[in-house]
Amino acid sequence: MAVKVQNTKNIRKAKRWNEKDDAALLELLRKKTKEVNLAIKEAQSPFMRARLKAKRAHYRSMANKVANGTYNGDIIFSEMQAAAALRTQEALKRDRFSNPSEARKYINSYEDMDFDYEAYFRKTRYYGVFLPILLTLLTIIFLAFFALPAFMPSSLRDTMNDYKMKPQALFTFKLGSDEQDFSIKNDGNWPDGDWRMVNGEEQRLAQGEQYIDPATGEAPEQVLLYAQAGMRTINISAFDIVKAWFSTKMLSRVRLDFLEDNKLFMGPRWLHAKYIGKAEDNIVNLRKEDGSFDVVILIKYLASYGIILFFIAAFLIAIVCLIQDIIRIFTYTTRRMHTLHWLLFIFSLLVVVLPAFLVIEGTNEIGPAFRNYFIFDYDTFMESPSTLCISVFAFLPAALSFIMLILPKLFKNRLKKLPTFVPKGNRPRRQQEKTLNYLAYDNVRRAYQNNLKR
């Protein structure tokens, strides 16, 4: 424990440490060095020899400082004086707590410590078991939202579409004539969407029902969705995003059999057919004739792949968060705002925003494309020139991840109950407890004062 010398001007005059003391110290250090040399020769293990050699090097370094005059001998006196003060303080503490009759000695033993244990350990958040259970339920809802389109019955889906509710749809795009129409196999496997209205009634074909040409009365092998079947819009669900990933050039040479052979991932891939396929085909025309880059083609290409990759990343992160939350239910560990929930919120938000870049036609039309994309009224969308709009339910994953992100900040910090915790029914009366505390502190205070007087 180094103590700074305050009286540096007349410290030599006080004869605390003089030149004779320096000479005696130098002689003592040389003697200790010789003793260490003998101890090194007699050491029986390499470990002891290494420690003794380090001690010898330290003695030689001190001796060189004293011999060269670069060592202040007053520091030695200050160190010895501080050590004596510490020994005296420790002796007083031992005398103070040696008597078992003095109460609350454990609590009072911390009064001279500078480190605030209570303030430090309060930084560790302990929420109990309710918060992990709540986070687990929210994560399950987050994952169930993405799996909803695969297990929702077609009858329930049609009923919700009649009431303009589409919880299974993330986005909706319009169909039209010529290039905006699609030809599919006439097998009754119709996509999820809205149909043509005639006299206020929707002319919907049920699942499994083939289209019959009214002119010939026969069912053709191929049918146009807009011109013949009468579909006006197609809804893009979470499974359509995953199925679009299988059709991209990224997986052109790789086939995930355990997924692609599943019937849930089979069928038309509307997101790829409408947007991603065109973005991949146009990337070869990235450079214009003058050598500059076509920014619109690049934006559409990055947005199409970003939708898929961010969606898959959000789904995998949610699975990891679910495992962590289940573990926290039984381990009672702390929970703060973690990086995984930040990433979950950011990726879910990007999946919502990126489709707006798929319908831009120029860099000057980004603003109108976003305004037409964020149309939540279906009738307004059908009357607008926009070809793609977002569903209100698409914000559900981002909203759930945001709630999971801020829940630890909303919950109150709870400390674990200490072993000295006394139930409320067994506590003494207030006046009695106050008297006991006063007696305990008064005994310790008197003992400390008596030790000081000695």
For 297-307, the pLDDT digits (tens) are 888 889 888 99
Residue 1 lies in a domain: no
Mean pLDDT of 313-338: 80
Residue 195 has pLDDT above 50, yes or no: yes
Q: Count the alpha carbons within 13 Å of 346 in the hemisphere toward its beta carbon.
A: 9
Residue 203 lies in a domain: no
Q: Looking at 410, 425, 448, which one is the last position of a domain? A: 410
Claim to verify: residue 41 and residue 134 sit in the same structural domain: no
Specify whether the CB–CB gap between 240 and 173 falls below 8 A: no
**pLDDT tens-digit map of 222-260:** 888 888 888 888 888 888 888 888 888 887 777 777 677
The radius of gyration of the chain's CA atoms, rounded to the nearest angstrom, is 40
List strands edge to edge, sheet with 171-174. Answer: 233-236, 171-174, 388-390
Claim to verify: residue 166 and residue 301 sit in the same structural domain: yes
Claim to verify: residue 140 and residue 88 sit in the same structural domain: no
Mean pLDDT of 180-193: 82
Claim to verify: residue 324 and residue 387 sit in the same structural domain: yes
pLDDT attached to residue 119: 56
Residue 262 lies in a domain: yes
Instruction: Tell me which range, 50-59, 63-72, 191-200, 382-391, is most confidently predicted by mean pLDDT.
Output: 50-59
Residue 124 lies in a domain: no
pLDDT attached to residue 123: 47
Domain that includes residue 65, residue range = 19-98
Claim to verify: residue 135 and residue 262 sit in the same structural domain: yes
Claim to verify: residue 23 and residue 142 sit in the same structural domain: no
Q: How many domains does the chain have?
A: 2
**pLDDT tens-digit map of 399-444:** 999 999 888 777 765 555 555 555 555 555 555 555 555 555 565 5
361: CB partners within 8 A, 6+ apart: 296, 369
Residue 108 lies in a domain: no
Residue 225 lies in a domain: no
What residue type is assigned to position 430 of the chain?
A: R
Q: What are the CA-CA distances from residue 50 to residues 30, 34, 35, 39 (Å)? A: 19, 16, 15, 11
pTM passes above 0.85: no
End-to-end alpha carbon distance in the chain: 26
Specify whether the CB–CB gap between 59 and 32 falls below 8 A: yes
E-only strand ranges, 166-246? 171-174, 183-185, 197-198, 201-202, 222-224, 233-236
